[in-house]
Amino acid sequence: MMELIPLIIWLIQDLLYIVVFPGLVTILVLAIVIIWLERKIAAKVQMRFGPLWVSKRIGGALQSVADLLRFSFQEFIVPEKSDRWAFIVAPGLMFAFSMISLIFIPVGPYYSYLFPSYYTILFSVGMIIITPIFAILVGWSSDNKFSFIGALREAFLLISYEVPFLLSVASMIVLYRTFNYVDAVAYQFRGLPGLVLNPLAALTLLIVMIRTTGRFPFDITEADSELVMGLFTEYSALFFGIGMATPYVELYAFSLIFSLLFLGGWWPAPLYAHGPIMGLIIPGIVVVVKAFIVMALLVFLRAVYPRYRLDQAIRSGWSYVLLLSVLSVLLSFGEVMLLR
């Protein structure tokens, strides 16, 4: 019995690392910051002020906190004709699966001792791919034409952009010859970052990221000028907040994947290190900063782009993006042949 105590302490400690560091707390802070940043960047480019009324001194940075508080205390209304259970459960599942994908994304070498798995790339990608299915469920269960059209659009886009997504990840798997993030990062430590090795895959993944997280120019499922709020038209209170936050969690997960696969992971920090400080906190901060830069770049697109029409988005999905991803796989094969 006595031997178990240090084990339990160790377990709790490690769980805390996971909850605090790549997980919940960081996401909450990042989501709040990135939402504010998105609105502020868009406002700057579009000659406006952006959020300012809450906490004027620091440029309205607390606006998202205020919104979150407001969402938490609002009344939650379930429409009479909605599919009650699906309506309540689907947004939660959507959020949950985008969070679960984070577990498989190691932000430091120490992390992979906590969750030893050889197939982390596959698991995280698989979990992220599941989330749009719940988005479709959300739209279907609301019994609202706007949500339904949003769900249909989501389904169309899901089909057109999933193939390029998987191909771009597959091309990196081919290149690194591993299914594991830590080995992929190790490969980049030995040579060049993935962005240089296979820029086509990086570009494809970026485009797919924009599409899956519904950033401009692909915010077709939300399309507030046509569909009110898209999938989440009927939602209120915290559930609406979840619906709003899920794309940001996905964005975070995607950006982490991007920085691990293409930006050299925790590059200036040491590759293998033991202990939570050198093995998790410092490399984690490096990865999160890289991911944050990617996120900031993507939210910047909101300021520049108008929205694609559905058919345009689908056409470019099946033409340019698919072509890019196929080329990226070929490029990876070519490099593997040459480097061997």
Partner 1 sequence: MSEVRKPRDPVTGHIKALAKGFKYLIEPNRMTLDYPAETMKLPPNYRGFFTVDDVKCIGCSMCEMVCPPEAITMVPRIVGSGGKTLPAESAPQDQKAAKRTKRPVVNWGKCIFCYFCVDVCPVDAFRPTGVHDVAFYTDREYRPTYEEYLNPPEDPYKSSKKVVSKADKKRGVSYEPAP
Give contact residues for partner 1 (rule: CB under 8 A): 41, 44-49, 52-53, 300-301, 303-305, 316, 320
Could you tell me the two tokens for 291? 């991911």
Shortest Cβ distance from residue 301 to partner 1 (Å)? 8
Spatial separation of the C-alpha atoms in residues 225 and 227, rounded to whole Å: 6
Spatial separation of the C-alpha atoms in residues 2 and 94, rounded to whole Å: 41
Residue 207 or 261: the one with the smaller Cβ distance to partner 1 is 207
- The letter for the amino acid at 99 is M
- Distances in Å between the Cα of 81 and the Cα atoms of 87, 141, 159, 187, 227 are 10, 9, 29, 54, 19
Could you tell me the two tokens for 150? 């949003």
Contact 50, 302 (CB under 8 A): no
Spatial separation of the C-alpha atoms in residues 300 and 286, rounded to whole Å: 21
Shortest Cβ distance from residue 319 to partner 1 (Å)? 9
Shortest Cβ distance from residue 71 to partner 1 (Å)? 23
DSSP 25-63: HHHHHHHHHHHHHHHHHHHHHTTS--S-SSSTTTTTTTH
Nearest to 279 by CA among 288, 287, 271, 267: 271
Residue 13 or 312: the one with the smaller Cβ distance to partner 1 is 312
Shortest Cβ distance from residue 45 to partner 1 (Å)? 4
Shortest Cβ distance from residue 76 to partner 1 (Å)? 25
Shortest Cβ distance from residue 43 to partner 1 (Å)? 9
Residue 218 or 300: the one with the smaller Cβ distance to partner 1 is 300
Shortest Cβ distance from residue 298 to partner 1 (Å)? 12
Residue 13 or 319: the one with the smaller Cβ distance to partner 1 is 319
Could you tell me the two tokens for 325? 């991803």
Spatial separation of the C-alpha atoms in residues 93 and 104, rounded to whole Å: 17
DSSP 216-270: TT-TTTT-HHHHTTGGGTT--HHHHHHHHHHHHHHHHHHHHHHHHHTS-SSTTS-
Residue 49 or 272: the one with the smaller Cβ distance to partner 1 is 49
Residue 293 or 336: the one with the smaller Cβ distance to partner 1 is 293
Spatial separation of the C-alpha atoms in residues 7 and 295, rounded to whole Å: 37
Residue 48 or 177: the one with the smaller Cβ distance to partner 1 is 48
Shortest Cβ distance from residue 304 to partner 1 (Å)? 4
3-state secondary structure of 83: coil
Residue 111 or 216: the one with the smaller Cβ distance to partner 1 is 216
